[in-house]
Amino acid sequence: MHSLLMTALVVEALWELLRYDVVLRTGGFRRIHRSVRQVRLGDPSGDSRVETHVLTAMRWALSLYWKPALCLQQSVATARMCRRHGIGAALVIGCRPEPFVSHAWVEIEGRVLNDSRVYQQCLQILERV
């Protein structure tokens, strides 16, 4: 991928991480949830590598972001980016009651995109947005 395009994706990913922090502080989880649901699916680019480019840009952005981003923040930002770039991604939130564990990840047609499949198999799905 051309370095200028990758730079643009990294900037977009940084914006999404920052946006999450601002929306969470001003509107709480309800507004975060709505922000994921409301992202319209963009036109597919036809480039089969878009998914890989988005994930690479997100990894770069996470390394540049000034604070650690937990799984929900990473997954919300990744799902929103994927959707805008024509990838039908779903934000998934799961938990296990005892001992309590919760986690968020992104799926595309049931395939885990940004994490391990172990969470998908071990946690009860609470929400798929």
Residue 46 has pLDDT above 80, yes or no: no
Name the band, by pLDDT with cuts 50, 70 and 90, for residue 1.
Answer: low
Note the pLDDT of residue 75: 98
pLDDT of amino acid 48: 77
Q: In what order do the strands lie in the sheet with 111-112?
A: 111-112, 101-108, 89-96, 124-128
Beta strands 89-96 and 124-128: pairing type?
A: antiparallel
pTM across the whole model: 0.93
Average pLDDT across the chain, whole number: 94
- For the chain, the domains span 3-128
pLDDT in tens, 5-16: 999 999 999 999
pLDDT score of 17 more than 80: yes
- Contact 22/67 with Cβ under 8 angstroms? no
Residue 45, pLDDT above cutoff 90: no
Q: Dihedral, CA atoms, 48, 50, 56, 59, nearest 10 degrees?
A: -130
Residue 76 in 3-state DSSP? Answer: helix
Q: In the prediction, which pLDDT does 43 show?
A: 85
Cα separation of 62 and 107, whole Å? 19
End-to-end C-alpha distance for the chain, whole angstroms = 30
